[in-house]
A and B are shown apart, each in its own frame.
Chain A
Amino acid sequence: MRMYQFVIRRLFLLIPVLIGVSIIVFALTRFTGDPGAAYINPKMSESQIQQVYAKYHFDQPAINQYWYWLNGLFQGDWGWSTSADQPVTKAIGEKFAATFELAAVSMVIAIIVGIALGTTAAVKRNKPFDHVTRVVSLIGVSLPIFVLGLLLLYVFSFNLGWFPDGGRYSNTYIFEAGGVPRMTGFVLIDSLLVGNYGLFSNAVWHMVLPAIALAFASIAIITRIMRNSMLEVLGLDFVKTARAKGVPESAVIRRHARKNALIPTTTVIGLVFGGMLGGAVLTESIFRWNGLGRWSAQAVMGQDIASIMGFVLLTAIIYVIVNLIVDVLYAYLDPRVRLE
C-alpha cells in the first residue's frame, strides 16, 4: 500500500469513530432533564427561548433530534456556557491556547526527557542509574497528578519560593502599558512578537511547575517503552555487526540503536497525549491555569452540561486527530505497517 492510500484509509476509519462519539455525547445531553437548558442564557428574551426550542425540536423522535443537534454543532452552536458566561465555542476559542501551550511544552519535555532516560537506562542496564530510573518512573505512573501538583507547589513554591503558586503570568503585566498581548493566544509566542521579554520570562517561570506536573506521568511511560525497545534493538544482529566492524559505541547507540528504538516509542505518544488531556483538567485546577481543563472542572461544579459536553467533544476530536498523526508517522517510520 502506498503512503497516501494508507492515509486515506485511516481518514475513512475516522468517520465511524467520530459519529460514534457524537452519538455518545448526544445521548448524554438527552439524559438531563431539559436539553434546551444547555442553549439558554439569562439574556435571552422569551421569544428567543421559543426559537431555541423550535430549532432543536425536542418534541420529535431521538433520531430527528440528533440531526438537529448535529446541524447546530456544524453551525457553531455548541450551547451556552454558564460557567464562562459566554457561548461554548467562544469559551473554547479563548481557553484553547492556554491548554495547548501547556500541553505542548509538557509533551516536548516528556518526549525529550523520556527518550534520554530510557536510552541511558537501557545502556546502563541493571546499574544504579537503571534502578533509580525505574523507581522514578514507577512513582510517575502511581502518583496521582493532583497530589504531585500539590507537592510541587508545597515544596518549590511555598517553602523554597523558587516558583509562583499558579496562574499564567504575574498580574502586574495586565496593568502594565500595553497589557498582555493577545495575538495567537500563546503567551510565550505573543510576548516575543511584541518584544516583551519580561513577560516572556515571567510566563516561562509560571509554566515550570504545571509543566513538570503534567509531564511527569508521560515521562514515566515513555521512559519505560524506550528502555524496553532499546534493549530489544541492542540485541539485534545489525547492532552486533556495527560493533564488530568497529563503529564506536556512542555511535552504535545514537545512530543504530536509538533511531530504531524510537519507532515503537512513537506509538505510545498518542496514548500519552490522551493522558495529558485528562491530566490538564487536574493540573489546571491546581495551578489556577485558565484553560479548558480548569473551565471544565468549574463546569462540573456548576452543573454546566453544555460546557462539559463541548469539552468532551473537542477532546475527542483532538485525540482522534493526534492518534491519526501518530499512526501515519508510525507507518512512515516503519514501512512494514503499511504492507498489510
Chain B
Amino acid sequence: MQSQKSFADSLMAELRPRLREARKSWDLIRTNYTAMAGLFMVVFMVAVALLAPVLAPPTPFTDPLEIPRDWRFANPIPPGAEGHVFGTGTNGLDMFYGVIWGARTTLVSSLFVVLVSAIIGLAIGAVAGFYGGWIDEALMRITDVFLSLPALILAMAITSVLTRSLNNIMLALIIVWWPGYARLMRGQVLIIRESIYVEAARSIGARTSRILFRHIVPNSLSPLVVNVTLDLGAVALTMAGLSFIGFGVPSGFAEWGRMVSDGQLWMPPIMVIYNGVEYNAWWTWAIPGLFILIFTMGFSLLGDGLRDILDPRTRR
C-alpha cells in the first residue's frame, strides 16, 4: 500500500510540471489565430477520415477504397443530382465518396511516411551527431546524395522501377524524406551535446545510452515535431503529384491526386449534358483539388503555429 501511494505521488510529481507546460502550450495555441485555423482544418480532415464509414457507407464485401460507380452515367453529372452530393466523375464515380475516403488514404499514408522517416532520421541523426568522427562524415555524405535530388523527381525514379501501388509510393517517399530528419536531428544533437546539463550528466557518470535517450533525444524533439507537422502537408502534396502523373493507384481508387488526374479529362471545351443543360464538369477536378488544399494548408498553418509556440524565445 505504502509503496503504491508513493508511486502515485511520484507519478504526479513527474506529471504536474508537464501538465502545466501542456496548459501553457494550449493557451499559446488558442490565442494564435492562424494556428487555430490550421488546427480546425486538421481536426476536420481527421474527423472526415475517421468517420468515413459513417459519412459514406461502403458497399459490403468490396474494398472500401474502391469508389462506387453509378453505371447509369458515363459522363459526369453535376453536384446534387441523383443523390450524388458532389456529382460524379467518369463512368459514374461518386465524387463525395471519393473525397471522403480519400481523406483516409492521404492521412494514413502521409502519417506513415512521415513517422517512419522521422524515426529513421532520428536514429541516424542522433548516432551521427553523438559519435561524430568518420561515422558522422559517412552518414552525412549519404544524406547529401539523397538531398541532391528534388523530392518529386527522386520519388519518381524509385517508383518507376517498382510495381504501381500505394505502398510503393509510400516506400519511395520514406526514402526521400528521412535524410532531412537525419540532418535536423544531427544539428540538434550537436548543440545539445555541448549543453551544461549534458555535461552535468556526464560528470556524475551517466551511461552513454542514458545521456542519449534521457537527455539528448527528448530535448531535441520540438523542432522535430514542427517538421513532422509541416511535412505531413508536404508529403501529401508530393504523393498527390505522383498519383497525378500516373504512379501508384489505378483510376477509381479513393486518392485525391488520382481523382484530379481523372477529372482533368473533363476540362473545357468538353461539355457534359445532364437533363438537357450543358455543364463544364469543374467538380471532377476542383473538388478533390480543394481537399488537397485544405489538408496541406491545415498542417502548414498548424506547423508554423507550433514553431512559434515551441520556440522558447516566444514562450517565456
Residues of A within 8 A of B (CB): 16-17, 20-21, 23-25, 28-29, 31-32, 138-139, 141-147, 150-151, 153-154, 158-159, 274-275, 277-279, 281-282, 285-286, 296-297, 299-301, 303, 305, 308-309, 311-312, 315-316, 319-320, 323
Contacts and interface: CB of A to CB of B under 8 A. Distances in A.
A16 B156 contact: no
Main secondary structure of the interface of A (DSSP, over half): helix
B142 A144 contact: no
A201 to B, nearest CB: 24
A28 B154 CA distance: 11
Contacts of B292: 143-144, 147
Nearest to A320: B148
Nearest to A25: B157
Contacts of A323: 148
A303 B149 CA distance: 21
A147 B245 contact: no
A20 B297 contact: no
Given A153-B267, A277-B150, A277-B153, A20 B245 contact: no
B313 to A, nearest CB: 13
B250 interface: no
A159 B280 CA distance: 10
Nearest to A147: B289
A28 B257 CA distance: 25
Contact of B293 (A142, A282, A285, A319): A142
B141 A16 contact: yes
A20 B142 contact: yes
Given A21-B149, A158-B280, A319-B148, A312 B157 contact: yes
10 contacts: A20-B142, A28-B157, A138-B300, A146-B241, A147-B292, A278-B151, A281-B152, A281-B245, A282-B244, A282-B245
A279 B149 CA distance: 13
A107 B303 CA distance: 27
Given A145-B241, A319-B149, A150 B247 contact: no
A159 to B, nearest CB: 8
Contacts of A147: 260, 285-286, 289, 292-293
Interface of B: 141-142, 144-146, 148-154, 156-158, 160-162, 233, 237, 240-241, 244-247, 257, 260-261, 264, 267-269, 280, 282, 285-286, 289, 292-293, 296-297, 300-301
Contact of A20 (B141, B240, B244): B141
Given A154-B282, A300-B160, A309-B157, A144 B148 contact: no
Contacts of B160: 28, 299-300, 303, 305, 308
A31 B163 CA distance: 11
Contacts of B246: 297, 300-301
B149 A142 contact: no
Contacts of A32: 161
A17 B145 contact: yes
Contacts of B260: 144, 146-147, 150
B248 to A, nearest CB: 10
At the interface, is chain B mostly helix, strand, loop or mixed?
Answer: helix
A1 to B, nearest CB: 20
Nearest to B256: A144
Contact of B240 (A21, A138, A144, A281): A144
B244 A144 contact: yes
A315 B267 CA distance: 31
Contacts of B297: 138-139, 142
Contacts of B267: 150, 153-154, 158
Contact of B296 (A142, A154, A286): A142
Contacts of B162: 31
Contacts of B152: 278-279, 281
B129 to A, nearest CB: 18
A308 B289 contact: no
B238 to A, nearest CB: 8
B132 to A, nearest CB: 17
Contact of A278 (B150, B233, B300): B150
Contact of A311 (B142, B153, B245): B153
B285 A150 contact: yes
Nearest to B233: A142
Contacts of A308: 156-157, 160
Contacts of B142: 20
Nearest to A32: B161
B289 A17 contact: no
A281 B156 contact: yes
Nearest to B245: A297
Contacts of B240: 144, 146
A28 B237 contact: no
Contacts of B150: 274-275, 277-278, 315, 319
A31 B161 contact: yes
A316 B293 contact: no
A271 B15 CA distance: 42
Best-buried of A29, A143, A275, A320 by chain B (most CB within 10 Å): A143
B262 to A, nearest CB: 12
A11 B248 CA distance: 37
A288 B277 CA distance: 30
Nearest to A309: B157
Contacts of B264: 150, 286
Nearest to A33: B161
Q: Which of A142, A143, A311, A315 has the most CB of B within 10 A?
A: A142
A23 to B, nearest CB: 8
